[in-house]
Structures are given as C-alpha cells and as structure tokens.
Amino acid sequence: MTTGDELTDLVVAEAGGRMDSAVHHARQQFATVRTGRASPALFERFLVDYYGTEVPLQQLASFSVPEAQLLVISPFDKGSISAIERAIIQGDLGLNPSNDGNVVRLTFPPLTEERRRELVRVVKQMAEEGRVAIRNTRRSGRHEVDQLSKGGDISEDVAARANKELDHLTHDHEQLVNDALSVKEQELLEI
C-alpha cells in the first residue's frame, strides 16, 4: 500500500518532468529565432523534399560556421543541393542561399533596429507560451492532489505540502524560462 507522501511525490515528480519539457521546448523555440549571427539551430525544423520524401535538413547535411555572419551547409548527397536551397527560400528567414555545386552558403545580413525589436516581441510571446504551459501543469498537478485529498487517500496537510512543492516548482521553472528569455533578448539587441 502506498502512503499519501508517496502518492503526492509521484504527482509532483510527474509535474516537474512536464515543466522541464516546457522549459526545453521554450529554449528550442528561442533557438529558431534569427539573431543576425549564423546558427545551425535555425534549421532544426526545416524539412527538405528529398526525392519525394520530407526529410529533416539536419539528416541531409552537416553545418559549419566559419564566420559569425556565414553558415556553410555541406550536403552528404550533392544531388540534394537544389532541394536544400528551395527549403531555405521557402523557410521565410529572409536568407538567399548560394552554392558552388558542393556546399550551400548563407550570409546573414545584420538585423535592422526595427527587426530586432520585432524579434524581441516574438521571443517574449514564446516565453509567455512556455510560462502558460508551466502554469497549466501546476493546475493539473493541483487537481490531482485535490482528487487524492477528496478521495481520502491523503490528508489535508500532505495535500497542502504537495501544493507548496508544485508552487515552488512552478516558480523555479518560470525563472528558467525568464533567464533564457533575457539571454535571447541580449543576443537580439546586441549589434
């Protein structure tokens, strides 16, 4: 038979895992926002039509950043260069790929001040979505604790302690999202 503490520990641990996932997702979202600096992370979600099949770009090529403003994509199959270029153009990053038959080069132009401010707004929205996901996880965890309490499986003291742990986890995970947001804002506003 499980004790009330074990039951609430399971609820809190599950909520913590889901909050970790929300923070990880927010960080991945931040990485897809262009900062004026070349980064392979921009292409994590890119799919390339490779002989009739949608394949993630990272499975078709390797990436290198020889300079801060230059990204070089080296396809494993040279026949996929035109498909990679099409995917980049359709990706709406505002980049114009060029190739020499062996590699695709992307030059990242410096961002304008207006575009930087716009990207900061986008990143703040992504951060808010991450915080909302964390709060929804807390609400779900609290609901489970309330159900256990109403069912007589745990005492009110154990329920109150579990709810405090959920609040603490929520605060910690929101702070992780806020920290990642401030790093990304600095990256975007840096000239």
Please state the rounded mean pLDDT for residues 14-37. 88
Domain ranges, ordered by start, for the chain: 4-32+112-189, 40-107
What digits encode the pLDDT tens for the residues 55-97? Answer: 888 888 999 888 878 889 999 988 888 888 888 888 766 778 8
Say yes or no to pLDDT of 43 above 90.
no
The larger pLDDT score, comparing residue 118 to residue 36, is at: 118
pLDDT in the model for residue 107: 85
| Alpha carbon distances (Å) from 98 to 14, 20, 91, 104 | 47, 39, 15, 6
pLDDT class of 167 with cuts at 50, 70, 90: very high
What digits encode the pLDDT tens for the residues 112-146? Answer: 888 788 888 989 999 999 999 999 999 999 999 99
Q: Which residues are 54's β-sheet partners?
A: 49
Note the pTM of the prediction, 2 decimals: 0.70
Q: Kindly report the average pLDDT of the chain as a whole number.
A: 88
The larger pLDDT score, comparing residue 109 to residue 159, is at: 159
pLDDT in the model for residue 144: 94
d(C-alpha 34, C-alpha 12), whole Å = 36
Give the whole-number percent of the chain exceeding pLDDT 70. 94
What class, spelled out in words, does domain 4-32+112-189 have in CATH?
A: mainly alpha
The CATH architecture one would assign to domain 40-107 is 2-Layer Sandwich (3.30)
The larger pLDDT score, comparing residue 131 to residue 111, is at: 131
pLDDT class of 44 with cuts at 50, 70, 90: confident
Say yes or no to pLDDT of 42 above 80.
no
pLDDT class of 1 with cuts at 50, 70, 90: very low
Termini Cα distance of the chain: 61
Say yes or no to pLDDT of 5 above 70.
yes
Say yes or no to pLDDT of 24 above 90.
yes
